[in-house]
Structure 1
């Protein structure tokens, strides 16, 4: 079978599964590159002709081009997903990816936000106008709910209830996250100011809107986060939506939530992804958890 035909079928399969536009763009770009490599460097255009050695050569090509291990691993996940699907569909009789070695990614401990950092970023915005209030609410929700950037941007007003939020996550998988009283206080003010600001105006259904009443773009959200970090003088740390997700995870684990519950709140399909946050607990946080779970400390006297 022609590789190009099978790739096209697989891409339609991915669209039917509900992958995001961003994911589909990345997949198309990667499959275009590997198809070009196999044809030009290995003389292959048929799926059945591809071997483990060809895929190993592709990875070596990426390494020669100067790609970092993390980028190669991300690339390989997309390649592996395609060939695994081919095997499941019966287009390949056996796996040709199991013996392909990928580079080890150095484990970096993310220097995350402290409670003080987050509080100062929330306090960096006021309630004096719509945009200031919106930004305060965005920072507070990111920190208190651990939502992804795409989930914040795509959040619909109808899905924000009194104590819960219905989140549409990766692959259109829905989950429930919870609104704490501290967050609710900010959201009440935001909703009141938003209603007044957009009075008698036609707006989109997104919960968080630009000043013109449209949904916030990826760049727009990133600018809000960067502005929060700038106002709070956060230095030496990555200031991004994912950093708040990391903060939420670490704080939840420190407070004693089990990793299975946290995995559900984060919308992870695999608990091993959630377990990575355990590795980023600081020594002080581990000490706090150790003391709170100490058998002797919990014996009634």
Structure 2
């Protein structure tokens, strides 16, 4: 999350195609500077070697970014069989080389099928997860290895796209918390030769796909020509479009914006999007009890 500082109080979501070789936070800072935005954050880290869909949130949209952190995601990835790295990907050092057997597409698909559905993954040492307040990757850089608990994740879809030995390209749709490089390593072990990830491109996250992504170069070119980039920002409520919608009266809006409950005939099983009489998104609410809605997270408008 970029800290609030000098700049414009703009709100919205930008879909960036993060390039290879830059951290998600660095990408965020570059785009934030282009927009001269006072507050910004991203919605789920992509490793420096990874490319693809990185939604960036500005202003009030940062309040709702967590709903994308929990979303399912999809990737295209390439694993190189026969070589194992200490990080599980191409950024690490090759620590083991093993012969790659003659493999057919069918044999690879059979191995991949073992990872469909609910599985457990042991998070890699080179990850941002913390143990006793210390990021695992820092311990790994010190040559330390600690025990990590396996985590439950779900692989909804896993398809082989191309087998060009020793490289195996596949698509995967998975739940939050899934490490695709760990998946690649585990498939390599199942095939008997090990593997490491050499390419990772995110194509979907939540309800967003790659069709709306923008490139750094395009944004920078228009910025250099003093063109406004604000037209590329999606409305804040796109982050929570999966929740049901409720329109409020002026009286209900006033109560909600003052942190008060309102009466409601319907009981919602999850959160609900709220809109005022001008169809402005004002935030999220949830059922407090039968017949009542309480505010959960609200938008602050400039005029208030």
Give the TM-score normalised by the residue count of structure 2. 0.22
- Structure with larger RCO (C-alpha < 8 A, sep 6+): 2
Higher helix share: 1
TM-score (norm 1): 0.22
Q: Which protein is richer in strand relative to its size?
A: 2
